[in-house]
């Protein structure tokens, strides 16, 4: 079974917090495909930069290490980056029309649903998003 990892969970790989070990375990032990969306890239970088400039809990040097680690993971762990398509946007709108969702969450979920839903596990630390993903037929992991 492959994994689609959204930003809320992937972030835990680069900034230690509750659930970090579970996310790293997926990367280190899984022989299955791992997918992220292209918007996850900008969300991860933005969130890491926020820790330096807004929250002031990491240094610029830590940011650069986390940034490098993220891009190293993409190349060495063979993470597949899925681009947002017009069909994803249409499906995201349909998801929002069923129930309120944040726009980025609807796009993340839409992209995950574009994979074979019975063969993908949706990994998210957002419990509400996981509930919706399960209602849409995805297997879920909430680290």
- DSSP code, position 15: S
Q: What is the pTM of this model?
A: 0.94
Residue 67 in contact with residue 45, Cβ under 8 Å?
A: yes
Query: What is the Cα–Cα distance from 129 to 73, expressed in whole angstroms?
Result: 25
Residue 9 in contact with residue 23, Cβ under 8 Å?
A: yes
Fold (CATH) for 2-141: Rossmann fold (3.40.50)
- DSSP code, position 81: E
Residues 6+ apart with CB under 8 A from 45: 67, 70
- DSSP code, position 115: S
Map out the domains of the chain as residue ranges: 2-141
Q: How crowded is the C-beta side of 10, counted as CA atoms within 13 Å?
A: 30
The pLDDT-based confidence of 140 (bands split at 50, 70, 90) is very high
2-57 confidence digits (pLDDT tens): 999 999 999 999 999 999 999 999 998 888 999 999 999 999 999 999 999 999 99
Q: Over pLDDT 70: what percentage of the chain?
A: 100
């Amino acid at each position: 079974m492959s994994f689609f990892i959204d930003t809320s969970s992937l972030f835990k790989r680069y900034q230690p917090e509750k659930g970090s070990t579970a996310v790293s375990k997926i990367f280190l032990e899984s022989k299955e495909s791992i997918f992220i969306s292209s918007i996850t890239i900008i969300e991860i970088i933005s969130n890491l930069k926020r820790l330096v400039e807004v929250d002031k809990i990491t240094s610029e040097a830590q940011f650069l290490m986390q940034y490098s680690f993220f891009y190293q993971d993409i190349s060495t762990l063979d993470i597949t980056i899925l681009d947002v398509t017009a069909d994803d946007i249409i499906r995201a709108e349909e998801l929002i029309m069923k129930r309120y969702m944040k726009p980025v969450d609807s796009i993340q979920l839409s992209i995950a649903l574009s994979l074979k839903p019975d063969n993908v596990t949706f990994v998210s630390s957002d419990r509400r998003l996981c509930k919706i993903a399960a209602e849409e037929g995805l297997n879920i992991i909430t680290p």
